[in-house]
């Protein structure tokens, strides 16, 4: 039996593909899971040969997003230390924040990358299984961005209704934050000429071809994907008013005021006032302390390698009080690591 893998639930094709808990997903997603399952089987042979007894499967996000690049880089750091810490890591592209949290809770994966707002809302939900959710690490800020075309005459949220807009793919963090904005602004899908439900790559393509006028997304700053959007597709950003930021934070205390620095994107002339969450890695309470501790020891023992994964990653967040402020209980293996109890 292959220990530590998250690909345990049923794979069923029914008007698409259903992976355990989450209903219908596209056939392409199904094929990714099949490929992942084969990669895990092959990896298990390597694992056994190397004497490594734990394999972590971690879900990330869209191939074009920051989650994907960061997750792949973190797993590389873990695998570089696999003989020392007796763990190995595989990351794979998934539906994003919401998908990952629920897949972690349903044993569909071991670790998942998510946004702090999605994690908090899930943990505080009435779903009994959500109480198993545990924090592994907090990585970087995720400011919310409303992206429009330069010269589009969209200067504020008041100008957005009537345009075509992307709410994000189902199961993603961007979809969650779009829903929050829709609720506060009293928007409905009928408020827009067309509503897209695309991941980052699809939304970028539609935006650059001018089929899409407004994108709502999280940014892990700086993002090379969005640098391309701004520099080659005439993208721009609009700021949220201080009143709106105050209102959304008052209603959702797991969010905070953030800034998108103009220096990150050459075509942006002014800093953008916004709100956002944090990028987290979560797991379940039944994942072993050794696994979580070894994962953290592996990624944070090489600070230079950690920071080189992506510009969004700065100094590691080792402050246990800040981790506790996310509202998600820290895994016992994380407590051991962050408290320095070897």
Q: How many residues appear in the chain?
A: 342
What would the mean pLDDT of 88-99 be, rounded to a whole number?
93
Which among 277, 297, 321 is the end of a domain? 277
pLDDT at position 166 is: 97
Residues 185 and 136 grouped into a single domain:
no
Residues 240 and 288 grouped into a single domain:
no
Tell me if 128 is assigned to some domain. yes
What would the mean pLDDT of 79-86 be, rounded to a whole number?
92
Q: What is the CATH number of the domain that holds 249?
A: 3.40.190.10
Residues 146 and 273 grouped into a single domain:
yes
pLDDT at position 43 is: 45
Tell me if 1 is assigned to some domain. no
Confidence label for 24 from pLDDT (cuts 50, 70 and 90): very low
Contact 285, 334 (CB under 8 A): no
pLDDT at position 341 is: 55
Cα–Cα distance, 97 to 42 (Å, whole number): 27
Residues 260 and 320 grouped into a single domain:
no
Tell me if 58 is assigned to some domain. yes
- Of 334, 328, 332, nearest to 114 (Cα)? 328
- Of 278, 242, 298, nearest to 66 (Cα)? 278
pLDDT at position 12 is: 34
pLDDT(277) > 60: yes
Q: 98 φ, ψ to 5°?
A: -65, -45
Tell me if 6 is assigned to some domain. no
Residue 224: CB atoms within 10 Å? 12
pLDDT(144) > 90: yes
What would the mean pLDDT of 263-289 be, rounded to a whole number?
90
Confidence label for 30 from pLDDT (cuts 50, 70 and 90): very low
- Of 4, 88, 8, 106, nearest to 51 (Cα)? 88
Residues 120 and 157 grouped into a single domain:
no
pLDDT(22) > 90: no
Tell me if 132 is assigned to some domain. yes
Cα–Cα distance, 240 to 144 (Å, whole number): 10
Residues 265 and 201 grouped into a single domain:
yes
pLDDT at position 41 is: 45
pLDDT at position 53 is: 60
| 279 membership: H or E segment, kind and range | strand 272-284
pLDDT in tens, 235-257: 999 999 999 999 999 988 889 99
pLDDT at position 13 is: 28
Average pLDDT over the chain, rounded to whole?
84
pLDDT(65) > 90: no
**Cβ neighbours of residue 28 under 8 Å, at least 6 residues apart?**
none
Tell me if 307 is assigned to some domain. yes
Contact 207, 133 (CB under 8 A): no
pLDDT top residue among 256 and 15: 256
Provide Rg for the chain, Cα atoms.
Answer: 20
pLDDT at position 11 is: 32
Which among 256, 277, 298 is the end of a domain? 277
Residues 153 and 131 grouped into a single domain:
no
By CB neighbour count within 10 A (0-12 exposed, 13-18 middle, 19+ buried), where does 271 fall? middle
pLDDT at position 201 is: 85
Range of the domain at 183: 142-277
Residues 135 and 148 grouped into a single domain:
no
Tell me if 149 is assigned to some domain. yes
Q: For the chain, what is the domain count?
A: 2
What would the mean pLDDT of 270-288 be, rounded to a whole number?
95
Tell me if 308 is assigned to some domain. yes
Residues 112 and 217 grouped into a single domain:
no
Contact 327, 254 (CB under 8 A): yes
Contact 217, 206 (CB under 8 A): no
pLDDT(223) > 50: yes
pLDDT at position 165 is: 97
Residues 289 and 322 grouped into a single domain:
yes
Cα–Cα distance, 226 to 154 (Å, whole number): 19
State the distance between the two ends of the chain, measured CA to CA, in whole angstroms.
30
Cα–Cα distance, 102 to 4 (Å, whole number): 17
| Percent of the chain residues topping a pLDDT of 90 | 61
Which among 277, 295, 321 is the end of a domain? 277
């Amino acid at each position: 039996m292959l220990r530590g893998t998250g690909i345990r639930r049923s794979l069923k094709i029914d008007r698409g593909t259903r992976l355990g808990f989450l209903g219908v997903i596209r056939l392409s997603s199904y094929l990714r899971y099949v490929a992942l399952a084969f990669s895990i089987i092959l990896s298990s042979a390597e694992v056994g040969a190397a004497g490594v007894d734990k394999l972590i499967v971690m879900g990330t996000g869209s191939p074009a997003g920051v989650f994907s690049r960061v997750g792949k880089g973190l797993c590389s750091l873990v695998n570089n230390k696999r003989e020392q810490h007796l763990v190995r890591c595989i990351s794979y592209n998934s539906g994003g924040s919401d998908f990952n949290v629920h897949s972690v809770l349903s044993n569909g994966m071991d670790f998942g990358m998510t946004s702090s707002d999605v994690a908090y809302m899930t943990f505080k939900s009435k779903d009994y299984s959500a109480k198993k959710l545990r924090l592994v690490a907090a990585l970087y800020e995720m400011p919310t961005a409303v992206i429009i075309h330069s010269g589009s005459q969209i200067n504020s949220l008041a100008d957005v209704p009537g345009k075509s807009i992307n709410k994000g793919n189902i199961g993603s963090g961007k979809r969650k934050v779009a829903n929050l904005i829709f609720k506060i602004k009293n928007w409905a899908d009928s408020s827009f000429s067309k509503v897209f439900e695309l991941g980052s790559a699809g939304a970028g393509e539609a935006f650059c071809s001018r089929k899409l006028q407004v994108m709502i997304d999280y940014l892990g700053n700086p993002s090379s994907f969005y640098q391309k959007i701004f520099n080659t597709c005439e993208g721009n950003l609009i700021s949220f008013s201080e009143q709106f930021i105050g209102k959304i934070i008052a209603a959702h205390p797991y969010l905070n005021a953030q800034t998108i620095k103009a220096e990150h994107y050459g075509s942006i002339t002014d800093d953008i006032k916004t709100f956002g969450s944090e990028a987290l890695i979560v797991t379940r309470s039944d994942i072993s302390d050794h696994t979580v501790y070894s994962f953290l020891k592996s990624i944070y023992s090489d600070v230079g390698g950690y920071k080189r994964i992506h510009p969004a990653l700065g100094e590691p967040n080792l402050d246990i009080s800040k981790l506790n402020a996310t509202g998600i209980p820290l895994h016992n293996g994380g407590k051991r690591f962050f408290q320095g109890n070897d």
